[in-house]
Amino acid sequence: MRIISANLNGIRSAYKKGFLDYLAAAEADFVCVQELKAQEADLADDMKRPHGMYGAWHCAEKRGYSGVALYSRRQPDRVQTGIGVDEFDREGRFVRADFGRLSVVSLYLPSGSSAPERQEAKFRFLDVFYPMLDAMHGEGRDIVICGDWNIAHQNIDLKNWKGNQKNSGFLPEEREWMGKVINELGWHDTWRELYPEAPGYTWWSNRGQAYAKDVGWRIDYQMATPNLAAAVRSASVYKDERFSDHAPLVVDYDYSL
């Protein structure tokens, strides 16, 4: 079973850069995308059901902003959009689909880098999402939460960690929260468990030559419950083509429904 997670920084822009063709070659069973920057009326048919896959999406009310989608080869048994908090559900940040005993989530956690007010909103999201993560883990299902978490957990997860300790995405409070998700709630960071010493950057600033010099951050994750995490066999960051300022995170699981 192959799952891909990718922040597209605009689905229409990513499609113009070849993302649809990439999906055809990638042969994924599930694809989670974030930052659609489009509303449902803006989505062409191949954005709703790429290559005949089933699609579920949660678009932001604000045009050209946020939004997530989830694509699957199998029709979902159930789809949930939003986390039940109006402030964040208006921004289109969460879609979950259930397939038998498996649940797949596409998540776009808020960024706090644009203004202090957005950082406060990010902290509010962390506060309300934590018990939701606890509840999902307690369901006893096989669940994977894919997406842009907008937090680099450890020093290895970003190139310039010393210079970013006071910046959103690497604040002590954010890192502590992520540590609790893993160490107290029991979610598994699939990449880091496979590759404890490989940075695995998935995002690069558009400033300077960050991408060319590989001055990146690992902020895209596939977080899994224990049984599913035990089935992980390999993971990679796709960099042969560039669709946005993020790169797709591809994880293969020895798992069948």
Q: Which residues are catalytic?
A: 148
Pair 131, 124: CB distance under 8 Å: no
Q: How far apart are CA 78 and CA 90, in angstroms?
A: 21
Per-position b or e across 139-161, b if 16+ CB within 10 A of its CB: eeebbbbbbbbbbbbeebbbbee
Pair 16, 46: CB distance under 8 Å: no
Place of tokens 């979950």: 96
CB neighbour class for 164 (10 Å; exposed up to 12, middle 13-18, buried from 19): middle
Rounded to the nearest angstrom, the gap between the alpha carbon of residue 211 and the centroid of all alpha carbons in its chain is 20
**Which secondary-structure segment (H or E) carries 57?**
strand 54-58
Cα dihedral 61, 65, 71, 76 sign? negative
Q: How far apart are CA 195 and CA 86, in angstroms?
A: 37
